Amino acid sequence: MDDHLTPAQERDALAAELALGLLDGQARSDALRLSLSDPAFAALVAAWEAKLAPLHGEWAHAEPGDGVWSGIERQLAERPAETATAIETRLRRWRAGALLSSAVAAALAFVLITRPVPAPTPAAPQLAVARIESDAAGPLVLARYNQSNGLMQLRIHGFEPGALAPELWVIPEGGAPVSLGQIGHAGEAEMTMPPPHRLLMTDGATLAITMEPVSKTPHPAPSGAAVASGKIITI
Amino acid sequence: MQWPSGADEARTRLVAALTAVGRGDRAALREVYDMTAAKLFGICLRICGERASAEDVLQTVYIKVWERAGQFDAARASPITWLATIARNGAIDWRRSVAGRAARDTLPEQAAFAVADGAPRADQSLVAAEEGERLHRCLEELEDHTRLCIRAAFFDGSTYAELATRENVPLGTMKSWIRRGLLRLKDCLGDG
């Protein structure tokens, strides 16, 4: 059946479908990934959740068993002390940088240095730049990745210090986000990517940043929408 | 501690507790749990369909609340809506998972439509009554089968495929009903 929806209506309908939970399988994965990498789409999903919110007044209440709270307490007790961040502890070379703006909408640009896999000579690395902006005044992260030795260098600007820390994710095409750990609010950072993660740093994969509670270990999944994202481009 | 008498007081107290959870206060998490567990468990139980899984999901919901409370913004969302959305999304994640599918396959067929379209319960204490009235008026303007399916998706966590099977219509027809219904719903809410 052809409903002649405009592209904007299609996008809004997809946001509604995700908010309502109608999607399954690949369609659901695709929509979840879009909401993670595209703050404007995530805002549409949130708007639909808000429209439908009055229905939350209709749920029948039910009493959970006594074991639920003790299970929650046990899980909280098992969590590591939440102080330093993963990448920060691995990094020794941390320098404070200039804070730019504090706008939530963001820009993230990636610079990738790659070499052919069998690197014949240490020739000048090739350079690629990708820049995706939703707001020129937002936070900006430049990432530079050397495929031959797995070294990722970050230049970070414009995140407000606070209760939440920026966490970096790589999202392979057609896959779920994988945390690369938390990064600082500003400055420069370097990390050597663990070999399993190097395989994810391919052309077309997305790097994204979400704001997460401070944690020493990478989170298994993002808790909110991306504040910045950009595609990896290799040359 | 005195139990609040009015909806505003309950909301104020829940916002205060959630804000404290955002600062890492575990006692405040217990307070949030005591105020909201029956409601959030109702959500998990309805969507998961059985107690053991619903209780597992409820635990993960409060762990998420613990992790995300710092992101709660009382200026943007009502606290109970924020919590109910986390619970509903958690239960739907479980239903869409392999474990959820396997468990659901062994459950008896639910008389879900009858329940889903029952008269709205009077549990509006923490939800803004005025917005609720407008949404219900707009839902009433939709065709019956469209409204039933949208409500079944919300309250049962049904997918397009499940709704198409239940209503015995092709998948494309079901998508078309619901998409048109949702866009009409948006128009109706927009001009209110």
- The pLDDT of residue B31 is 96
Q: Which residues of B touch A57 (CB under 8 A)?
A: 120-121, 123-124, 126-127, 132
Residue B191 pLDDT class (50, 70, 90 cuts):
low
**Ranges of each domain in chain A:** 7-53, 86-231
* Cβ proximity of B150 and B181 under 8 Å: yes
Structure tokens at B81: 């809506």
- Give B-chain residues touching A24 at CB under 8 angstroms: 96, 159-161
Task: For chain B, give every residue range classified as CATH 1.10.1740.10.
Answer: 1-112
| Assigned CATH for B128-192 | 1.10.10.10
Show residues of chain B in contact with A63, CB under 8 Å. 37-38, 41
What is the gyration radius of the CA atoms in chain A, in angstroms? 20
Q: Indicate yes or no: pTM above 0.90.
A: no
The residue that leads in pLDDT, B163 or A163, is B163
- How would residue B39 be classed by pLDDT, with cut points 50, 70 and 90? very high
What single string gives the DSSP state of each residue in B140-178? HTS-HHHHHHHHHHHHH---HHHHHHHHT--HHHHHHHH
- pLDDT of B127 higher than 80: no
Q: What is the mean pLDDT of chain B?
A: 84
- pLDDT on residue A29: 87
Q: What is the fold, at CATH topology level, of the domain defined by B1-112?
A: Rna Polymerase Sigma Factor; Chain: A (1.10.1740)
pLDDT at residue number A171: 85
Q: Which residues of chain A have pLDDT under 70?
A: 1-3, 80-137, 235
Query: Is some CB atom of chain B closer than 8 A to the CB atom of A20?
Result: yes
Q: Who wins on pLDDT, B62 or B111?
A: B62
Q: What is the pLDDT of residue A173?
A: 77
Is A131 an interface residue toward B (CB < 8 Å)?
no
- Looking at chain B, the domain(s) classified CATH 1.10.10.10 span 128-192
- Between CA B28 and CA B25 the distance in angstroms is 5
Residues 171-230 of A with CB under 8 A from B: 211-213, 219, 223-224
Residues 6+ apart with CB under 8 A from B67: A212, A213, A219, A223
- Residue whose entry in the numeric block shows the structure tokens 């820049």: A131
User: Which of A1-5, B12-16, B175-179 is predicted least confidently?
Assistant: A1-5
Instruction: Answer whether A59 sits within 8 Å of B46, measured CB to CB.
Output: yes
Say how many CB pairs under 8 Å bridge A and B.
Answer: 163
Q: What torsion, rounded to 10 degrees, do the Cα atoms A118, A123, A124, A130 define?
A: -10
